[in-house]
Amino acid sequence: MSATGEQQIILEMRDITKTFPGVKALSGVTLKVRKGEVHAICGENGAGKSTLMKVLSGVHPHGTYDGDIFFEGHPCHYKSIRDSEHDGIVIIHQELALSPYLSIAENIFLGNEQATRGVINWYKTNAEASKLLTRVGLSELPDTKIVNIGVGKQQLVEIAKALSKDVKLLILDEPTAALNDEDSAHLLGLIRSLRAEGITCIIISHKLNEIAAIADSTTIIRDGMTIETLDMHGAEKITEERIIRGMVGRSLDNRFPDHSPTVGDEVFRLVDWTVYHPQDPSRVVVDKANLTVRRGEIVGIAGLMGAGRTELAMSVFGRSWGTKISGQVFVKGQQVDTSSVTNAIKAGLAYASEDRKRFGLNLIDDIKHNNTSAALGKISSRGVVDQAEEYRIAEEYRRKLNTKTPTVDAVVGKLSGGNQQKVVLSKWMFTDPDVLILDEPTRGIDVGAKYEIYTHINALADAGKGVLVISSELPELIGLCDRIYALSQGRITGEVPRAEATQEHLMHFMTKEKEVAGR
């Protein structure tokens, strides 16, 4: 649908301004969404995208912001999410809000129970849930517990829950950030089918290729202000580069900083590393993996979902995952003991998890405590932390990595994704490791912040560190790494130097099933 057509405007937000203590998050933002379209909202981390949607949905209630909201032509004064849902506006946040130990059906109708005189009709609950699951293309039984299904299926449950509320406007905040390619494609297909039913969708996403594929209109927000709204089906062909120019205020002709590596001696070697599944000890997840990293070198690990990339990294770093682990780890030519996280850190290893919110950071603590948490001994004497030194070090890393926060006393959970990732990097840089394992280092981060993270990764290599990068994005590995290993079904099936690295070449190795390529 063309954004320039005569479609009815279902939503209009006029001059929305939202201020938090010391920060103006939104400044005069204006947004128009037409009925039955998919409207994308783009912007760098911290641009104000999620804040705008929280204003719309009543998370930030009327009276806490300036400006006007009109939905289906009527002024809106939402005081809560329940108020906006009553009008058919439903938001699905990036952090899914499902109760893990309740069933799918219970989650779908939580707060909207199928009850008569206070007694829940379980037959009706499960029957209605089953209809909704069919509608979103999820073949799970309604009584399946949320904890037993993956993130992709949980997203579909959230959408089924929204459909149970007679949704007119569905807002999806980074819906595919944690999904694999197959789940992402299914979700985008579902959004298209909802559009065909006349349901309007607003989608916030950093994945510009998905926006180009699905959006009818795209509004770009920068520094809390509306920059422009693009008609994705108009005369001008809207490319990813065109969207990036609006997001960052400049053209990112090269999304990766120039880097000429200075590669030294071998700093890390993994020999015949084998790991079995913790719940199924008969299942091999990593099968005799052998790899090396040299000083000043950035080495990638490519693999499809389920190939064993994260399992490999976590098992090496303190045996944090897996059972019946065997093989050898060498750092600077010496075999080391990595049987615990403490031992792994002492051996010179650092691991930045793909799930920074769950494993990488303490979200309710401040930056300085997060920054020093992996190496408190460096700033302690007889068990007492030198708080002045802790502050000085955290401030030094804040400046070095350009973390956007007025103070290192700020709570980490309040930072944008890109700035949280900088705190993770700072934490592990402070341990002064020989080898850094970075698992999905730019997941959920916008293109401008990605460029900064790449610059810091290059700087780590230039400082003589060995860097091992795991990423689901092949262009990222190709643009960043000096060598790339391909992993398939737990086996290293190929090793590709930068000069020969193409997506097709890597995919050839990533889909190999049996043979292991010779070194």
Q: Which domains does the chain have, with CATH numbers?
A: 9-248 (3.40.50.300), 262-348+434-514 (3.40.50.300), 358-432 (no CATH)
For 468, residues 6+ apart whose C-beta sits below 8 A from its C-beta are 268, 293, 299, 300, 301, 313, 435, 436, 437, 438
Q: Do 496 and 505 form a contact (C-beta atoms < 8 A)?
A: yes
* Angle made by CA atoms 58, 64, 67, in degrees to the nearest 5: 85
Q: Which residue has the higher pLDDT, 512 or 114?
A: 114
Q: Do 355 and 178 form a contact (C-beta atoms < 8 A)?
A: no
The predicted model gives 28-33 an average pLDDT of 95
Q: Note the pLDDT tens digit of each residue in 129-138.
A: 999 999 888 8
- The pLDDT score that the predictor gives to residue 3 is 42
Q: Is the pLDDT of residue 231 over 70?
A: yes
The predicted model gives 313-340 an average pLDDT of 95
Question: Cα dihedral sign for 425, 277, 488, 319?
Answer: positive
- The pLDDT score that the predictor gives to residue 242 is 85
Q: Do 480 and 256 form a contact (C-beta atoms < 8 A)?
A: yes
Q: Is the pLDDT of residue 206 over 80?
A: no
The pairing of beta strand 115-116 with beta strand 298-303: unpaired
Q: Note the pLDDT tens digit of each residue in 358-406.
A: 778 888 999 999 999 988 888 998 889 899 999 999 999 888 888 888 8
Q: Do 359 and 427 form a contact (C-beta atoms < 8 A)?
A: no
* pTM, to two decimals: 0.63
* Distance in angstroms (rounded) separating the CA atoms of residues 221 and 246: 8
Q: Is the pLDDT of residue 78 over 80?
A: yes
* Distance in angstroms (rounded) separating the CA atoms of residues 425 and 422: 5
Question: Cα dihedral sign for 393, 47, 481, 420?
Answer: positive
Q: Is the pLDDT of residue 306 over 70?
A: yes
* Distance in angstroms (rounded) separating the CA atoms of residues 173 and 162: 14
Considering 221-225, 264-268, 446-450, the range whose residues carry the highest mean pLDDT is: 264-268
Q: Is the pLDDT of residue 483 over 80?
A: yes
Computed on alpha carbons and rounded to an integer, the radius of gyration of the chain in Å comes to 24
